[in-house]
Amino acid sequence: MLRLSRRPTVVAVLAFVLLLAACSSAEPDARVVRKAVPTSSPDRGPGGGSATSGSEDPIGPADPAVHATLSAWEPCRADFECATLTVPRDWAEVAGETLELAVIRQVATGERVGSLVFNPGGPGGSGIDFLRSFSSAGLPDGLDERFDLVAWDPRGTGRSERVDCTTDEELLEPDLDPTPDDQADIDAIRAEAEAGAEVCDREVGDLLGLVGTRATVRDLDALRGALGDEGLSYVGYSYGTTIGMEYLRLYPGRVRAMVLDGVSVPGVDPIEDTLTQARGFERTLGVYLDGCAERPDCPLGAAPKQTLLDLVDRLEAERIPASYALDTPDPVDREGTVGPGELYIAVVSTLYSTADWPQLDRGLSEALADPPMGRTLLALRDSYLGREPDGTWNDDIDARSAIRCADQEARSEQPEGDLSYAEEWAVELPFWGAWFGTGNPGCWGTPEAVDPLRPLEPGAIAGAPPVVLIGSTRDPATPYEQSEDAQRIIEGSVLVTYVGEEHTAYRSLSDCIDEPVTAYLVDGTVPPAGLRCEA
């Protein structure tokens, strides 16, 4: 269900649901600078080993760092420094054109172990924005003392060369009906998808086919070498775990320590993967609805799921007015309406963390009032799709679609996909089934995947130090079962379990999680097997 569109209709928004981690607002001062200096020398290998240790790469070079340069670090607000990593645009043609990636770091304040590289997920999330927010709110104690904290905007995203097909004006337009009921709905989806594919091909060109995860993994190894680290220390959240697992597949001997939180296993069949996630969101929505009786602000009454389904029907029949203003020095007014598309996005945006459930209560209360109003629901929808505090929009939705489609071979025959999945899944999953079931397998109108992700069998990843996996038992976006699958795939890995609804847990959510995971990152002490931490 992943494909590109000029505005956030069903043919683009469903891709945006996948694997979103806790990304923050934009920081405009993290920028690309171009004073290049050499990276690490060609003979530097991880852990004292050779630079070519690890699995054979059928496309890229044995040592990506040889083909990259890192600019001098420059101050870029507060105590952060920014630089530019220049890498081959196409790793299959390392002598060809180059591509610039924006990098940020916060230098260790104490006895330095090395660099600790973060990826916040997405795909398409800005590492620069994430690190700036995370270092001030959410960073587990002790990391900033022992590590240079490092992040980057992966190819296709943020301040790096990015995929950007959708204008701010298009993101303000009403969403199409995401669950088509008739030919008119299908025709609208097709028209938007056709226009979007044409625009993206014209505006972005060959970059669409060069932003896949395996290219990003080569960029990451080039960054490791450029930072002077023999072994990679890495924390990946959500889709960032896919990057981590692909790094382990290619370069297991170049890992010093790796934490994968909210695991998304690469190479899974896209339809199977979508159904698994739909079940996760239906399960978490059920927990939210079951708790309505205990929350005085929940407006859904004695039959909360039916009330919510009835609201979908009402919005199918008639959109409701919605407006809000951004709190900026020059207030930005947002005038719009809310229909079923906006409702689905607003609901999904609040299910990643129980801390957001009061916002959903408020939004549903407004929508069910007399007269109805969609202020909070529209604000939630806009924020989820990338609206920044200053009223502009980031490019995450376009980057996410492009990256996901570069990673999978399957392509839908039509933009709406095989609608039999929507009908079938709706029986099992009354709220999310039709929404997730539309568009599968996705990626209509996108270039052929030249370096797609392949499935990983149990035991397929070996030769790395112990890897720490973290899974939340009721995580809707990356269901716990994927963490269990990853433990079987990665030999010697340890699974730490967080019992709760949260999407990702290593973020000052629980000392039971933070303390043993931080100790592992600092000195290699592996958390005890079977560790479970209660919410």
Contacts 24+ apart (CB under 8 A), 83-86: 83/33, 84/32, 84/33, 84/34, 84/36, 85/152, 85/219, 85/222, 85/223, 85/226, 86/36
Contacts 24+ apart (CB under 8 A), 381-385: 381/175, 381/338, 381/342, 381/345, 381/346, 381/349, 382/171, 382/334, 383/349, 384/16, 384/20, 384/345, 384/346, 384/348, 384/349, 385/8, 385/13, 385/16, 385/171, 385/345
| Sequence-distant (≥ 6) Cβ neighbours of residue 23 within 8 angstroms | 120, 121, 122, 125, 126, 129, 130, 133, 396
DSSP 102: E
Give 158's Cβ-side CA count (13 Å radius).
34
| Sequence-distant (≥ 6) Cβ neighbours of residue 451 within 8 angstroms | 59, 212, 214, 215, 406
The Cα 355–Cα 466 span in angstroms is 32
- DSSP states along 397-447: HHHHHHHHHHH-----SSTT--THHHHHHHHH-TTTHHHHHTTTTB-TTPP
- Read off the tokens for 317: 């029949």
Q: Taking the CB of residue 96, how many other CB atoms lie within 10 A of it?
A: 10
Radius of gyration of the chain, Cα coordinates, nearest whole angstrom: 22
Q: Taking the CB of residue 384, how many other CB atoms lie within 10 A of it?
A: 21
Q: Is 238 a catalytic residue?
A: yes
Q: Residues 409, 449: contact at Cβ < 8 Å?
A: yes
Give 20's Cβ-side CA count (13 Å radius).
25
CA distances from 80 to 31, 106, 290, 339, 458 (A): 12, 5, 44, 42, 40
Q: Is 475 a catalytic residue?
A: yes
Amino acid at 387: R
Q: Taking the alpha carbons of 12, 15, 16, 17 in that order, is the dihedral positive or negative?
A: positive
Q: Residues 152, 223: contact at Cβ < 8 Å?
A: yes
The Cα 311–Cα 275 span in angstroms is 24
Total number of residues shown for the chain: 535
Q: Is 73 left (phi over 0), alpha (psi -120 to 50) or beta?
A: beta
The Cα 175–Cα 14 span in angstroms is 12
Set 115, 160, 238, 472: catalytic member: 238
Q: Taking the CB of residue 470, how many other CB atoms lie within 10 A of it?
A: 27
Set 164, 503, 510, 514: catalytic member: 503
Set 90, 395, 396, 475: catalytic member: 475
Q: Residues 69, 36: contact at Cβ < 8 Å?
A: yes
Q: Is 395 a catalytic residue?
A: no
Q: So which residues are the catalytic ones?
A: 238, 475, 503
